[in-house]
Homo-oligomer: A and B are copies of this chain.
Amino acid sequence: MDVETRLEKLGLVLPEPMQLPPGVELPFAWVRVRGNRAYVSGHGPLNPDGSLCGPFGKVGTEVSSEVSPEEGYEAARGCALSVLASLKRELGDLDRVTAWLVVHGLVNAASDLGGSAGVVNGFSDLILALYGPEAGTHARTAPGVATLPLNHAVFVAAEVKIAA
């Protein structure tokens, strides 16, 4: 397995550390490691330079929704890149992730969004493409929530198993 080579082949770039908007404080860690587990905080998508890239607002199919389910899928894929960037900074090497365990996809959902699972597939599909079925498979929750930090459209948290 060489996750970073696969990322490169897909033309994907991991973003720099998140640039915090003014007044925002983060009294927590993006990744918390103990023993053979890494706990990953909720991440939204970022531009390559670490600035917030959106999309922002509610995902749905109503006229009033700011984000379509297709854009939500892309946002969830962006969350995967943010999560991988944090894991690389913490672990040094993405191949140290030996098994994805559980993924919590949170979708900022308009009232009609019965398809939050399809949105979070943007995260799961990329992790499976990068890690393969043995290491990449994971349990998952994918509820639609009322709001998300910074008005993000999608946020993803996770727990993974790591090698020493």
User: Which residue in chain B gives the minimum CB-CB distance to A147?
Assistant: B144
- Whether A28 lies near B137 (C-beta < 8 A) is yes
Number of interface residues of A (CB under 8 A): 56
How long is the Cα–Cα vector from A140 to B141 in the complex, in angstroms? 15
- Whether B142 lies near A102 (C-beta < 8 A) is no
User: Which residue in chain B gives the minimum CB-CB distance to A122?
Assistant: B27
- Whether B101 lies near A148 (C-beta < 8 A) is no
- Whether A32 lies near B101 (C-beta < 8 A) is yes
- Whether A113 lies near B28 (C-beta < 8 A) is no
- Whether B102 lies near A39 (C-beta < 8 A) is yes
Q: A25-B121, A34-B99, A124-B28 are in contact. Are A143 and B137 (CB under 8 A)?
A: no
Pull 13 A–B residue pairs with CB atoms less than 8 Å apart, ordered by A: A27-B124, A28-B103, A28-B137, A28-B139, A29-B139, A30-B139, A32-B138, A37-B101, A39-B139, A114-B148, A114-B149, A116-B149, A142-B149
Given contacts A24-B117, A28-B137, A102-B157, 11 further A-B contacts (CB under 8 A): A27-B121, A32-B100, A39-B101, A41-B139, A107-B147, A111-B146, A113-B147, A116-B147, A116-B148, A141-B155, A144-B147
